Amino acid sequence: MQINEDKTIQNVKDFWQNEYPLILNMTLVDKHDVLNQKQNLSDGFSRNSLQYGYIKQLDSINRAYDRLFEAKSRDVIREIYILGRPDYRLIKKLGVSRGTYYGRIKPEALLQFAAAFDNGRLI
């Protein structure tokens, strides 16, 4: 099956813009603590609990992040999407051109995240 890369990238961006803030609000986890939540957070919560689904999503973010195989992809997801920092800071940190960052590094990170997140739900 051929994936539509542009649609997949947009799905991931939509997830971070729309679903992620809701996940943080519903789980009461600070964005700086998202990647520190390495245990299965859903343990101890009733499956009927309102928070359960959101905690499962946070678990999925952590698992997907751990599956990213390139350091630059991990940097993009952590710095830009999880922590909400501006792109220019990461471009400077990585020491790459804007063209390389926006044309290759960032799209690749979003595609890797889509493949790793929640059994490919964002593809």
pLDDT of residue 116: 94
**Residue 110 neighbours by CB under 8 Å, 6+ apart:** 8, 9, 12, 13, 76
pLDDT of residue 52: 80
Q: Give the span between the Cα atoms of 12 and 15, in whole angstroms.
A: 5
**Residue 52 neighbours by CB under 8 Å, 6+ apart:** 42, 45, 46
65-104 burial, b at 16+ Cβ within 10 Å, e below that, comes to beebeeebbbbbbbbbbbeeeeeeebbeebeeeeeebeee
pLDDT of residue 76: 97
Tell me, yes or no, if the pTM score tops 0.95: no
Q: What is the pLDDT along the chain (123 residues), one digit of tens a residue?
A: 678 999 999 999 999 999 999 999 988 888 998 888 655 555 555 556 677 888 889 999 999 999 999 999 999 999 999 999 999 999 999 999 999 999 999 999 999 999 999 888 888
pLDDT of residue 39: 52
